Amino acid sequence: MRYRTENRSFGGRRCARFGGRAHCGRRVLLVHFLYNFEVDSQYHFHTGCATKQVLGVLGLALIAFAAPGFAADASKLPGGTWESIPKLPDMNGVWEMTFGRGGFAPPQQFSFTPKYEAMLKEFQASARQESPMANCVPAGMPGTMSQPYPIEILFTPGMVTVIAEAFMQVRHIYTDGRPHPEDPDLTFNGHSIGHWEGDTLVVDSVGFTTDTSLGMNMGTRHSDKMHIVERFHLKDSKTLEIATTIDDPEALTKPWSRTITYARHPDWTLAEYICQQNNRNFMDASGKAGINLKH
């Protein structure tokens, strides 16, 4: 296998591949076949080789035949019913990042392609210093998971919901076996699907807008091909670790990884966070930080 962590297009279907397994709902084996086929075909599925296109269409038809609607047996998947949820590792509740572990990475930790390295250098050489977050625009992924505010995790049948207090963000992680949309709309937090590997919830996300960045300012950019894999694992009943790997065939020459540790706070509830309530910070048109002190 030539590629460890990549996004590939399968005749329009986007599948994520990592850790030696392909993930596209539960159509793993067929996707595996198609994946190998596509790698061997040098990604020319959609670029004009008629024979390969026909084979691609046949392959997709085979998938449709072999794997009827994902919802049909979603209840048999881990966490597919209320009864099965208590059998899963108990991640329900309120968690806060333990500061100093993980979080936003300094730019030098990313291995950017020449184009994105040039974008970083241009940013650093400019007067810009700020992120749209100063104007109350949410961070988007991966920043949604590394804010200095708690997150709440909720398990319901077929879905894990992550609520981030900062900017009041909600991530829906579908664990009912559905694949990613073939052509997802590009959003701040992407489209997320999850499955269980033993005691680890593996969350695969694609479909990100390029309005966001990998870090605290807009110097560290990513493309709309960004692909995020998060492995949620309970280190103990009070400690959650999320190991995140990001690959981006346009922006990064190798995947970037971080692990964030969260502490459980059983007595906490999430609070309201309306950033526009009294936001006196701003990023001006030139990208510089400012503050409004009118009383």
Partner 1 sequence: MRTKILLAIFFAGLPALAHHSFEMFDMSKVFTITGTIKEFQWTNPHTFTWIDVPNDKGGVDTWAIEGMSPNFLGRRGWTKHTLNPGDEVTITIAPLKDGQKGGTFLRCTLADGKEMVMFDNPPRAQPTAK
Where does this chain touch partner 1 (CB under 8 A) — which range of 77-85, 98-106, 182-190, 254-262?
98-106
Where does this chain touch partner 1 (CB under 8 A) — which range of 39-47, 107-115, 254-262, 264-272?
264-272
Where does this chain touch partner 1 (CB under 8 A) — which range of 141-149, 154-162, 195-203, 224-232?
141-149
Q: Taking Cα atoms as reference points, which of 193, 259, 178, 200 lies closest to residue 227?
A: 193
Q: Which residues of 161-198 are buried (b: 16+ CB within 10 A; e: fewer)?
A: ebebbbbebebebbbbbbbbeeeeeeebbbbbbbbeee
Token readout for 246 is 């990001």
Q: CB under 8 Å to 47, separation ≥6 — which residues?
A: none
Instruction: Give the helix, strand, coil percentages of the chain, each rounded to 5.
Output: 25, 30, 45
Question: Considering the complex, what minimum distance in angstroms separates the CB of residue 235 from partner 1?
Answer: 21
Binding of partner 1 by 285 (CB under 8 A): no
Residue number with CB closer to partner 1 (91 or 216): 216
Q: Tell me 269's DSSP state.
A: -
Q: Which of 6, 38, 130, 247 is in the footprint of partner 1 by CB under 8 A?
A: 130
Upstream peptide bond of 142 is cis (omega within 30 degrees of 0)? yes
Where does this chain touch partner 1 (CB under 8 A) — which range of 51-59, 174-182, 253-261, 274-282?
274-282
Binding of partner 1 by 163 (CB under 8 A): no
Binding of partner 1 by 183 (CB under 8 A): no
CA distance 221 to 55: 36
Q: Which of 1, 50, 125, 271 is in the footprint of partner 1 by CB under 8 A?
A: 271
Contact letters for partner 1, residues 217-256 (x by CB under 8 A): x---------------------------------------
How many Å separate Cα 38 from the centre of its chain? Answer: 24
Cβ-contact 240, 95 below 8 angstroms: yes
- What's at 109, amino acid-wise? Q
Residue number with CB closer to partner 1 (165 or 248): 165
Residue number with CB closer to partner 1 (36 or 279): 279
Q: Taking Cα atoms as reference points, which of 23, 21, 2, 11 lies closest to residue 206?
A: 23
Binding of partner 1 by 133 (CB under 8 A): yes
SS3 call for 274: coil
Q: How many Cα atoms are found within 13 Å in the side-chain-facing hemisphere of 53? A: 6
Binding of partner 1 by 7 (CB under 8 A): no
Binding of partner 1 by 209 (CB under 8 A): no
Binding of partner 1 by 259 (CB under 8 A): no
Q: Which of 92, 129, 200, 261 is in the footprint of partner 1 by CB under 8 A?
A: 129
Residue number with CB closer to partner 1 (73 or 241): 241
Give the footprint of partner 1 on this chain (CB under 8 A): 99-100, 103-104, 129-131, 133-134, 136, 146, 148-149, 165-166, 216-217, 265, 268, 271-275, 277-281, 283, 288-291, 293, 295
